[in-house]
Amino acid sequence: MNLVSMKEILDDANRENYAVGGFNINNMEFLQGIIKAAEEVNSPLILQTSEGAIRYIGMDYVVGMVEAATKNTSIPIALHLDHGGSFEKTMECIRNGYSSVMIDGSKKPFAENMVLTQKVVEAAHSVGVSVEAELGKLGGSEDDITVDEREATFTDPEEAVEFVEKTGVDALAIAIGTAHGVYKGKPELDFDRLEEINNKIDIPIVLHGASGVPGEDVRKAVTMGINKVNVNTDFQQAFTAKVKELFAEKPDLYDPRKYCGPGREAIKERVKEKIDILGSKNKA
Ligand SMILES: [Zn+2]
């Protein structure tokens, strides 16, 4: 496949202070909409699949589709596993051609997370594949917890230093108040903590759960050291809103091309908005 490692993409972003989207694909329309948008604005791109998306699409189809989509492209693209849950899963993705993997040991105790990440880094780096890890726990948007409980799950800056040094990981996802899925209220990000972490570690920092975070807050986080921003829910909502709108207008629609096509177009437009916020336009 015509892919580059995520490290290559993010090191440029780190040097020039912008962020690149880690955009999740759920099916062919997502893949096509996302790539088209990145090509139109000449942005580097990190395409990513969760384990759930791989189960839904099928590994052979993921790889086959990405191969077809990247064959004639001129922008740098990485194919990345989002939230890999085990050493085995990351290795399976590498064997199938992924140029980058995330190992998510964030729910394990600190020492265990570190050992697991080290093991993945050692194997991945030996074949030129980059690794993202996570420290701190992201909230589920449905969690009802107090401020103290919430902050206890945030990334500890001192732990981040030790973790990065000992694992040799290429990018680190941190918890500063974002959550996966749909937010109930407005998310409050801990920018002081981000600043402290960014001052202490040199590698690119990743923000997960950025769907639903106001553009100005994402922009601020990027200026303060975030170099990769993950988006999934926003694109799912853009696709589904368009499909619902079409069915409201024409309840008798039956040809999937007549609603998946416009859904794909809606994703493309939303991707371009995100790229504008991240500042990766014309950085390919
Ligand atoms: Zn995530």
pLDDT band at 67; cut points 50, 70, 90: very high
pLDDT at 183: 84
Instruction: Work out the average pLDDT over 100-119.
Output: 97
pLDDT at 137: 85
Instruction: Work out the average pLDDT over 262-271.
Output: 98
pLDDT band at 140; cut points 50, 70, 90: low
pLDDT band at 95; cut points 50, 70, 90: very high
Cα 101–Cα 164–Cα 156 angle in degrees, nearest 5: 110
Pairing of strands 179-180, 100-103: unpaired
Instruction: Work out the average pLDDT over 27-44.
Output: 98
Cα 69–Cα 103–Cα 31 angle in degrees, nearest 5: 20
DSSP 9-53: HHHHHHHHT--EEEEE--SHHHHHHHHHHHHHTT--EEEEEEHHH
Pairing of strands 171-174, 139-140: unpaired
What does pTM read for this prediction?
Answer: 0.95
Nearest CA to 187 out of 208, 217, 155, 207 is that of 217
pLDDT band at 181; cut points 50, 70, 90: confident
d(CA 17, CA 253): 46
Does the pLDDT at position 197 exceed 80?
A: yes
Average pLDDT, the chain: 95
Does the pLDDT at position 220 exceed 70?
A: yes
**Terminal-residue alpha carbon distance, the chain:** 18
Nearest CA to 131 out of 120, 141, 140, 139 is that of 120
60 assigned to active site: no
Active-site option among 12, 82, 104, 170: 82
> Near ion ligand 1, which residues have CB within 5 Å?
208
Instruction: Work out the average pLDDT over 194-219.
Output: 95
pLDDT at 160: 98
Asked if residues 170 and 6 have their Cβ atoms less than 8 Å apart, the reply is yes
pLDDT tens digits, residue range 145-170? Answer: 666 677 778 999 999 999 999 999 99
257 CA distance to ligand 1 middle (Å): 30
Does the pLDDT at position 244 exceed 70?
A: yes
57 CA distance to ligand 1 middle (Å): 19
> 3-state DSSP call for residue 239?
helix
178 CA distance to ligand 1 middle (Å): 10
pLDDT at 143: 53
Asked if residues 173 and 101 have their Cβ atoms less than 8 Å apart, the reply is no
137 CA distance to ligand 1 middle (Å): 10
Torsion sign across C-alpha atoms 118, 124, 125, 131: negative
Does the pLDDT at position 93 exceed 70?
A: yes
pLDDT at 182: 85
Asked if residues 117 and 133 have their Cβ atoms less than 8 Å apart, the reply is yes
163 CA distance to ligand 1 middle (Å): 19
